[in-house]
Amino acid sequence: MNKRLLIILILLATFGWSCEEVLDETIEFENTDLLVVEGVLTNRRVAQKIKLTHPYASQNQPEIPATGAVVIIADSDQNFTLLRERPRGSGEYFTDSLRAVFGKAYALIIRYKGKEYRAFDAAPPGQLLPPLKYEPVEVDGPQKFKITFEDSGVNPNYINYHIDWSGTQECVGQPEECRAKLVYYDLKNIDVQKIYAPEKEEFYFPAQSMVIRRRYSISPAYQEFLRSFLSETEWRGGVFDIQKDQVPTNLSEGAVGFFAVTTVVTDTTIVE
């Protein structure tokens, strides 16, 4: 556990003062045409995806796709790529095979319900992945492992960990139930909220799990977005919380989300 957090927890636990419990409360949902954009172009030559959705009313609900938009990606060499919604009605729009190149600036143009949304970003240089660190943990049953998260590199970045144990004997359900996605954000910043963030759940996985790591280098604008994004997600709910506010965006016309261009480094490890 974060030692600084431990100090606070000790103080709050001193006399059994603090307590958290489930609150049976529903939010007052504002059903608007607010467009949510998630677009992360990478240097990997793949069909790049832009996901368009609308906000949903309560926690854990499925996303509401924004379908029928015209989505275009343009680069600083004035190359234009039209994305197609696949499958229709999914709100997920794909390019043909495309890679974002370091040194170029990219623009996202979305025409949707009479509005034109625009956003810009440029890819920062990539960073090598340090060796994957994991450690065995003592839990009931077969041997389990957990990832050891730590800051690495000199520039802000985040690493997505896709863990798949569907091919192991430990997977007793459907294959999609034997997959996990963990994220470790390393923004190289000092924030009170981050320092005293609430504790994060530990995640254990069995031997022979496949761990695919993707490290995303991030631009200054994307870093700023992620800092706010974490303020409202992973860092929210600590004892030194800050004012709640909308996560800023680089999209015009009041959309939320972010259009980012990143450099990705990836590796795959079988945990033994």
Smallest distance, another protein to C-beta of residue 55, A = 3
Told to check if 38 binds another protein by CB under 8 A, we report yes
Region from 11-19, 78-86, 100-108, 131-139 binding another protein, contact rule CB under 8 A: 11-19
In the complex with another protein, which residue's Cβ is closer, 39 or 124? 39
Told to check if 174 binds another protein by CB under 8 A, we report no
Smallest distance, another protein to C-beta of residue 64, A = 9
Told to check if 80 binds another protein by CB under 8 A, we report no
**Distances 166 to 112, 147, 163, 181, 216 between C-alpha atoms, Å:** 39, 18, 9, 13, 25
Q: Is 226 helix (H, G, I), strand (E, B) or coil?
A: helix
In the complex with another protein, which residue's Cβ is closer, 54 or 118? 54
Smallest distance, another protein to C-beta of residue 96, A = 24
In the complex with another protein, which residue's Cβ is closer, 106 or 216? 216
Other Cβ atoms closer than 10 A to 121? 25
DSSP state of 173: S
Among 67, 81, 102, 240, binds another protein (CB under 8 A): 240
Told to check if 189 binds another protein by CB under 8 A, we report yes
Told to check if 8 binds another protein by CB under 8 A, we report yes
Burial of 113 (0-12, 13-18, 19+ CB in 10 A): exposed
User: Among candidates 151, 160, 162, 213, which has minimal Cα distance to 187?
Assistant: 151
Among 74, 155, 241, 269, binds another protein (CB under 8 A): 241
d(CA 99, CA 47): 8
**Which residues fall within 8 angstroms of residue 68, CB to CB, at 6 or more apart?**
85, 112
Smallest distance, another protein to C-beta of residue 198, A = 6
Applying CB under 8 A, what is the total number of residues that bind another protein? 80
Told to check if 56 binds another protein by CB under 8 A, we report yes
CA angle 238, 243, 245 (to 5 degrees): 115
Told to check if 166 binds another protein by CB under 8 A, we report no
Region from 17-25, 41-49, 75-83, 131-139 binding another protein, contact rule CB under 8 A: 17-25
Told to check if 195 binds another protein by CB under 8 A, we report yes
Smallest distance, another protein to C-beta of residue 66, A = 11
d(CA 50, CA 84): 10
In the complex with another protein, which residue's Cβ is closer, 107 or 224? 224
d(CA 212, CA 162): 5
Q: Decide: 262 and 216 in contact? Cβ < 8 Å.
A: yes
10's tokens: 């000790």
Region from 74-82, 105-113, 118-126, 174-182 binding another protein, contact rule CB under 8 A: 174-182
Told to check if 133 binds another protein by CB under 8 A, we report no
Residue 87: asked if its preceding bond is cis (omega within 30°), the reply is yes
